[in-house]
Amino acid sequence: MSMNTQKDVHLVSYASSVGGPGPGCGEGPLFLQQSTIFADLAKTGIGLHWQLTTTPIPADPSKLGSVLRQCTELADEISELVRDKKFFISLGGDHSCAIGTWSGVKQAMQQQALGFIWIDAHMDSHTPQTSPSGNIHGMPLACLLGFGEPSLTNIGTSGAKFKPENICLIGIRSFEEGEATLLKQLNVRIIGMDEVHHRGLADVLTEAIKIATTGTVGYGLSIDIDSIDPADAPGTDVAEVDGLSGEELCQAAQIFAKDTRLIGAEIAEFDPSRDQDQKTEKLIARLVSAITLGK
Ligand SMILES: [Mn+2]
């Protein structure tokens, strides 16, 4: 293969689960760093560049302190990659990594408007006031919209990183009232599984890209592994039945490889200890290939 066809991807790891209910997904990025299936992506023409890995340290006084420190480190790293026009994928870890990833993109882009596609079984749009569990992995989208714990909403730049009208959620099927109320008040577009089944994922993604690119200079993509049906991706901690088909997601995600407006992506909530027959591990490698190379 000619070097001209190689596509580089810079992988930034958030090896932490302090924002979630248990330890499992914190091992996700370290597992992928050792995975031969993942390493084999290099043979298909992807230049894999492993960048920063953040980890919890005992010195952090609280879960909030740990998430804040790691997301700040992540944001600084991502910001530098975006300034250098390097394509990145963040690997979680629990989904609180999104606070760091997209605050970092905003830190690099400053006043320029950005769009965002959020593929997840959950809304992750709680504030500390509405969250039943208090887990920060249920709050990142609210944070990125400027709602919640101020230390987290002000990473990189102060306040919201996206306008509500440039955000689209896909695959939603489990949520609580408080977060749904917030997104409804903001008029954020939410595409639930009924609509995905009815229209097909490719059609839904086309609409999401339109939303994320209208009046923006580019957009981001965050994929929670729990958006995918547990039959196809069992390796996650908060699995929800009736999810996206892994095959359909990998097919539809090829659209991103041709879209230069995509600034970077994120894949969160992979718990290798819950994986079966390497299904989720293989699917993540396929997703990276789809998003980066379009195949
Ligand atoms: Mn999530």
pLDDT in tens, 99-113: 999 999 999 999 999
Domain that holds residue 280: 3-293
Scan for tokens 């992995």, then name that residue. 137
Q: Is the pLDDT of residue 215 over 60?
A: yes
pLDDT at 1 over 80: no
8 Å CB contact between 245 and 232: yes
Q: Mean pLDDT for the chain?
A: 97
**pLDDT, average across residues 253-282:** 98
Mean pLDDT of 44-65: 95
Residue 109: give its domain's CATH number. 3.40.800.10
Residue 223: per-residue pLDDT: 98
What is the distance in A from the centroid of ligand 1 to the CA of 239? 10
| DSSP code for 189 | E
Can you tell me whether residue 130 is helix, strand or coil?
coil
| Mean pLDDT confidence for 211-233 | 98
Centroid of ligand 1 to alpha carbon of 43 (angstroms): 31
178 CA to middle of ligand 1, Å?
A: 16
Q: 3-state class of 96 per DSSP? A: coil
Question: Which pair of tokens denotes residue 8?
Answer: 């580089």
Q: 221: CA distance to ligand 1 center in Å? A: 12
Tens of pLDDT, residue by residue over 69-95, are 999 999 999 999 999 999 999 999 999
Strand order in the sheet with 189-192: 46-54, 7-14, 88-92, 262-268, 218-224, 114-119, 167-172, 189-192
pTM over 0.85: yes
Check if the beta carbon of residue 12 is closer than 8 Å to that of residue 90.
Answer: yes
Q: Which positions are annotated as active-site residues? A: 95, 120, 122, 124, 137, 224, 226, 269
pLDDT reading at 61 higher than 90: no
Region label for 175, one of left (φ > 0), alpha (ψ between -120 and 50) or beta (otherwise) = beta
Task: Provide the pLDDT confidence category of residue 3 given band limits of 50, 70 and 90.
Answer: very low
Domains: count for the chain: 1
Distances (CA, A) of 277 to 102, 232, 235: 32, 10, 10
For the cut 60, the answer to whether the pLDDT of residue 2 exceeds it is no
Give 4's pLDDT tier (boundaries 50, 70, 90): low
